[in-house]
Amino acid sequence: MIIMKFGGTSVGSAERIAATADIILSAKHPVVVVLSAMSGATNSLLALSEGKGSQDSIIERHTATAESLGLPKNICSKIHAIMDAASTPSEIVACGELLSTTIMHSYLCSKGADAAWVPALDFMSVGTDGEPDTKTIKRSAKTAIEKTGQHDIYITQGFICRDSSGAVSTLSRGGSDYTATLLGEALGAESVQIWTDVDGVYTADPRRVQTARRIPKMSYAQANTAARRGAKILHPDCISVAMAYYAYFAAIAGFKRGYRHESFVVIEISYNSASCFRME
């Protein structure tokens, strides 16, 4: 079992969703796919949760995306149902990942894939301290996946979770990377791949700094420093999970791999020692 995480940039439009679906379809199965909300969707939902912006424009964006992908008509009622069911601010913010995964799942099924939709709210929980409750995640993740039966592809949501009282909540911004590594640990995955729109971790944001250089190999400490200094490409907490659970087995690589439609693996945390290099 491998975990592939795609961020908002990889599901930000119908074209990106189709390209990402191609990558998922040609991956080694079984695969658990962790998705973020469409780029910008979480910002719109946050505004909506504060009484600003409009629910209609969010529904329109997702419906138009589904239509461009040629999805069956019932996807529109699913989109409405997800939005209508949200009442608390956190439930509203959580809609982004519920919508993107619903669209991706429907698209993969329309392509004939054997894909299941797994609710992250059934396994991702945080404790009273707001930190992930790894024991519960470990126990529940397997059950949530098994409940759907055996499939090639399991699609689930990054970022969203339940708090200690069972209410819908979220991790911190950019938290889908963290979901992916937590899930990798919980399921004993072979590897966790974080896919995005730039070909690796750079010395600075390559979109802003022309002289930024790609870092071809990184130690955990370097990745940690980069993430904590604000390199948006990796959520800082996902490095800590990798360090805690995969130390001495893991590789973090900034190498370009599987280039297709501007999607890249920026890190691959792997149990497979053959493809690993060890760094303290």
Judged by beta carbon distances under 5 to 8 A according to partner kind, the member of ligand ASP, Mg ion, ligand ADP, none in contact with residue 118 is: none
* Residue 191 lies near ligand ASP (rule: CB under 6 A): no
Q: Where are the beta strands (DSSP E) in the chain?
A: 2-6, 31-35, 115-118, 153-157, 160-162, 168-170, 191-196, 264-270
Task: Using the rule CB under 6 A, give the single segment among 36-44, 147-155, 208-216, 226-234 that binds ligand ASP.
Answer: 36-44
Smaller CB distance to ligand ASP: residue 234 or 276? Answer: 234
Residue from the set 6, 7, 182, 200 that interacts with Mg ion by CB under 5 A: 7
Determine the Cα angle at 123 with ends 195 and 43, to 5°.
55
Contact status, residue 85 vs residue 102, Cβ threshold 8 Å: no
Smaller CB distance to ligand ASP: residue 88 or 172? Answer: 172
Three-class DSSP category at 262 = coil
Q: How far apart are the first and last CA of the chain?
A: 26
Listed residue (113, 153, 200) closest to 2, CA to CA: 153
x/- track of binding to ligand ASP for residues 140-179 (CB under 6 A): ------------------xx-------------xxxx---
Contact status, residue 141 vs residue 163, Cβ threshold 8 Å: no
Smaller CB distance to ligand ADP: residue 133 or 224? Answer: 224
Write out the binding residues for Mg ion, residues 162-221 only, by CB under 5 A. 174
Gap between the Cα atoms of 247 and 250, Å rounded:
6
Which residue is nearest to ligand ADP, using beta carbons? 7
* Residue 42 lies near ligand ASP (rule: CB under 6 A): yes
Burial-class residue 18 by CB neighbours within 10 Å (0-12, 13-18, 19+): middle
* Residue 96 lies near ligand ADP (rule: CB under 6 A): no
Smaller CB distance to ligand ASP: residue 219 or 240? Answer: 240
Task: Using the rule CB under 6 A, give the single segment among 17-25, 113-121, 132-140, 203-211 that binds ligand ADP.
Answer: 203-211
* Residue 9 lies near ligand ADP (rule: CB under 6 A): yes
Burial-class residue 211 by CB neighbours within 10 Å (0-12, 13-18, 19+): exposed
Total residues contacting ligand ADP (rule CB under 6 A)?
19
Smaller CB distance to ligand ADP: residue 117 or 202? Answer: 202
* Residue 89 lies near ligand ADP (rule: CB under 6 A): no
Gap between the Cα atoms of 128 and 108, Å rounded:
37
Three-class DSSP category at 48 = helix
Burial-class residue 190 by CB neighbours within 10 Å (0-12, 13-18, 19+): middle
* Residue 7 lies near ligand ASP (rule: CB under 6 A): yes
Judged by beta carbon distances under 5 to 8 A according to partner kind, the member of ligand ADP, Mg ion, ligand ASP, none in contact with residue 132 is: none
Structure tokens at 83: 């939005």
Three-class DSSP category at 47 = helix
- List contacts with ligand ADP (CB under 6 A): 7-10, 36, 174, 196-198, 201-202, 204-207, 226, 231-233
- List contacts with ligand ASP (CB under 6 A): 7-8, 36-37, 42, 96, 158-159, 173-176
